[in-house]
Amino acid sequence: MTVRSRLSWKDVRDTVHDAILSGQYVPGDRLPRDADIASSLNCARSTVQRAMQDLSDSGLVERRRKGGTHVRLDPVTRATLDIPITRREVEQKGGRYGYQLIRQQQQTPPHKVLAALEMTTPQDLLRVEALHLSDCQPYMLEDRWICLDTAPEILDIDLSVQSANEWLVLNKPYSRCDLRFYAISADEKTADFLGTNAGAALFVIERTTWIETAPITTVRAITRPGYQLLTSS
C-alpha cells in the first residue's frame, strides 16, 4: 500500500486542465459538479472550488450557478501585464535612469482629454511634459494631465526633481485604471525628443486613473523606437 499525500488545489486544477487539454472534454462540454469531482478525487469540495475558480479566472472554463461548469466555447487568450514605474523599468533593464522636465503649466484641456478622464465640467488641469532617459538616451516621452481637484498636493512638488509618474504612483493610489495601446508615426517634435526621425513607428501607452469616480490623471507615454511590451510570464 502506498500512502497518498493529500491533494492540493493545484493538483486538482492540473488534473482538470489535463482532462481538457487531452480532449476528454471539448469546448462547450459540461464538467462534473464540484461535489462529484471532490468525491472522485477524494478531497473536500472547497479544494475543488479553489481549483475551478483558478481555471475560471484564466478563461478556460465558465461557471454558473445551477448551470454548472462548462469548457469555454470561445476561449480567449488572457494575459496579465505589469507596468512598473518608469524609473524601475529602466533600472530593471539594466539602464541608468535619468529624467528631464520639459514643461509644466496649468491649462485648459482639449475635449479629448476631458473625455478620457470622464469629466463633464471643463476646468484647468496641470499639464506636465517630461522625458525619461536610460543611460542618457531618450526612453519615453510623457504628456500628462493631472486633475488638481483630486491631487492638489502636486503643486507643492518640484517636478524637475521627482517625476509626476513616480509621485502619483506613490502618493495617489487609484481604484480604477484604463490602459490603451497603439502605434503612431512620430511627428517632428516627438522625433526630436526621442532622437529619431519623423515618421518612425512608435509604441504608445495611454493610461488614465481614477480614485472611485474622481479622475486623477491621464498620460500618453510615447516610447523610444524598438520598445516592446511583454506579458509577465
Residue 170 contacts a second copy per CB under 8 A = yes
Stretch that binds a second copy, among 32-40, 62-70, 115-123, 194-202 (CB under 8 A): 194-202
Residue 188 contacts a second copy per CB under 8 A = no
- Shortest gap between Cβ of 25 and a second copy (angstroms)? 10
Residue 202 contacts a second copy per CB under 8 A = yes
> Which lies closer to DNA via its Cβ, residue 43 or residue 169?
43
Rule CB under 7 A: which residues touch DNA? 6-11, 31, 33-35, 42-47, 49-50, 52-53, 56, 63-69
Buried b (16+ CB within 10 A) or exposed e, 129-167: bbbbbbeeebbbbbbbbbbeebbeebeebebeeebbbbb
Residues near 220 by Cβ (< 8 Å), separated by ≥ 6?
A: 142, 143, 144, 204, 205, 206
Question: What, of a second copy, DNA, none, does residue 115 touch, CB below 5 to 8 Å by kind?
Answer: none
The span from the CA of 109 to the CA of 130, in Å, is: 17
Stretch that binds a second copy, among 2-10, 70-78, 105-113, 143-151 (CB under 8 A): 70-78
Q: Is 187 helix (H, G, I), strand (E, B) or coil?
A: coil
- Total Cβ atoms within 10 A of residue 113: 18
Question: What, of a second copy, DNA, none, does residue 180 touch, CB below 5 to 8 Å by kind?
Answer: a second copy
With the C-alpha atoms ordered 55, 58, 64, 68, is the resulting torsion angle positive or negative? negative
> Which lies closer to DNA via its Cβ, residue 6 or residue 112?
6
Stretch that binds a second copy, among 114-122, 129-137, 144-152, 171-179 (CB under 8 A): 171-179
The span from the CA of 145 to the CA of 230, in Å, is: 26
